[in-house]
Amino acid sequence: MSTVSVALGARSYDIVIEDGLLDRAGERLARYARGGRLVVVTDEHVAAAQLPRLLAALTGAGVAAEVITLPAGEGTKSWDGLSSLMDRLLALEVERNDHVIALGGGVIGDLVGFAAAILKRGCQFVQVPTTLLAQVDSSVGGKTAINTAAGKNLVGAFHQPSLVLIDPTSLDTLPAREVRAGYAEVVKYGLIDDAAFFDWCEKDGTKLLAGDPQARAHAIEKSVGAKAAIVADDEEERSGRRALLNLGHTFGHALEAETGYSDRLLHGEAVAAGMALAFRFSAAQGLCPAEDARRVTAHLRAAGLPAGLSDAGVDADGATLVAHMMHDKKMDGGKLPFLLARGIGQTYLDKQVDLKAVEAFLDGERVAA
């Protein structure tokens, strides 16, 4: 077992990582059960694959669970998904001091977190992530949101969980495509500021993708440790440090918008393509060695992830993609700061990027594909 703490003063919390934790979560969660009950929110796939383990643990600890099961997929992170969840939480008479349990991937975590942030002006929640992406990234840090017609995560709040329980064995039922999508956010930590970890990904990433328990534990602990440190330093993305976690996301969110937030392109896949584009753009601008951009592209493709527009199934011109980017939350005074790289492990926030250059670069990528 390992525990990582997110140091945020009164809002500090632990992230507990342990194989089999789901089966032993009853005692840990029982302390949050007021009146002997807890509300668990999950999606239909997780309800079939992992919920029985959590329910058995809760029953064993004498806790009664009310379960809300939502449709699986990015479409649930929407006004409709939020409205339906809020009505159901209100019908269950969840109170401000109650804890709601989010059991699922990033969609459930982001949606439940946002619902918790606004239910009766704020109740509490616990993250029990069941995808690789959620275990290495979305369950930590308190970014909660839904998507709107204008773009990704545009309505949301910073609302930290009280606890994060990570059971890597819950990934045993996760489809391989979802494991690969989560792996993109693992690689991200190496590319941001840890070149040695990117080396590890090149050497041992395939073990992680195959479900090797040691590789899985190493990747989750490294990722969560890196994210916890960044969040503790810049909780609400004010100083620029937390923005580093957005590497690949400005391009990636534009690709997700272009594919309609659908199964055509998963968030992690869009981030993979976005990181490769960020590195190639950096190289094209003379900021980053071409060899580093080549390594990033090659590694993502070797992992079965998209590393460009055509891999991602996107056939849009630069102007269309840049128009999506204008909704990015990093926009500041009409300018869009970009996460660029001076090399692997040397990501930085560049506030001087010329959007015409981004547009021309993307047009070139489209032609080259």
The least CB distance from residue 253 to ligand LNCXM5UN, in Å, is: 6
207 marked among binding-site residues? no
What are the beta bridge partners of residue 43?
A: 70
The least CB distance from residue 123 to ligand NAD, in Å, is: 18
356 marked among binding-site residues? no
Question: In the bound complex, which residue of the shown chain has the CB atom lying closest to ligand NAD?
Answer: 106
Residue 167 interacts with, from ligand NAD, ligand LNCXM5UN, none (CB under 5-8 Å by kind): none
Rounded to an integer, what distance in angstroms lies between the CA atom of residue 54 and that of residue 269?
A: 29
Smaller CB distance to ligand NAD: residue 168 or 343? 168
Residue 165 interacts with, from ligand LNCXM5UN, ligand NAD, none (CB under 5-8 Å by kind): none
Binding range to ligand NAD, per CB under 6 A, among 261-269, 275-283, 307-315, 320-328: 261-269
**Structure tokens belonging to residue 300:** 């993502």
The least CB distance from residue 283 to ligand NAD, in Å, is: 26
If you search the block for the tokens 């379960």, which residue do you land on? 67
Rounded to an integer, what distance in angstroms lies between the CA atom of residue 286 and that of residue 284?
A: 5
**By CB under 6 A, what part of segment 54-93 binds ligand NAD?**
72-74, 77
Which of 53, 77, 242, 295 is flagged as catalytic? 242
Q: According to the binding rule CB under 6 A, does residue 137 interact with ligand LNCXM5UN? A: yes
**Is the CA virtual torsion 188, 194, 197, 202 positive or negative?**
positive
Q: According to the binding rule CB under 6 A, does residue 141 interact with ligand LNCXM5UN? A: yes
Q: According to the binding rule CB under 6 A, does residue 268 interact with ligand NAD? A: yes
267 marked among binding-site residues? yes
Those residues with Cβ within 8 angstroms of residue 93's Cβ, 6 or more apart along the chain or in another chain? none
Q: Which of residues 178, 221, 328, 359 is near ligand NAD by CB under 6 A? A: 178
Q: Which of residues 77, 159, 222, 242 is near ligand LNCXM5UN by CB under 6 A? A: 242
Q: According to the binding rule CB under 6 A, does residue 269 interact with ligand NAD? A: no
CB 139 within 8 A of CB 109: yes
112 marked among binding-site residues? no
109 marked among binding-site residues? yes
Which of 159, 246, 269, 295 is flagged as catalytic? 246
Q: According to the binding rule CB under 6 A, does residue 306 interact with ligand NAD? A: no
Smaller CB distance to ligand NAD: residue 83 or 173? 173
Other C-beta atoms lying within 10 Å of the C-beta of residue 286: 8
Q: Which of residues 98, 110, 237, 365 is near ligand NAD by CB under 6 A? A: 110
Q: According to the binding rule CB under 6 A, does residue 153 interact with ligand LNCXM5UN? A: yes
Q: According to the binding rule CB under 6 A, does residue 222 interact with ligand NAD? A: no
Q: Give the footprint of ligand NAD on this chain (CB under 6 A).
A: 43, 45-46, 49-50, 72-74, 77, 104-108, 110, 130-131, 133-134, 137-138, 141, 143, 153, 170-171, 173-174, 178, 181, 185, 266-268
Q: Which residues are annotated as a binding site?
A: 106-110, 130-131, 143, 152, 185, 249, 267
Catalytic amino acids?
Answer: 121, 143, 185, 227, 237, 242, 246, 249, 253, 267
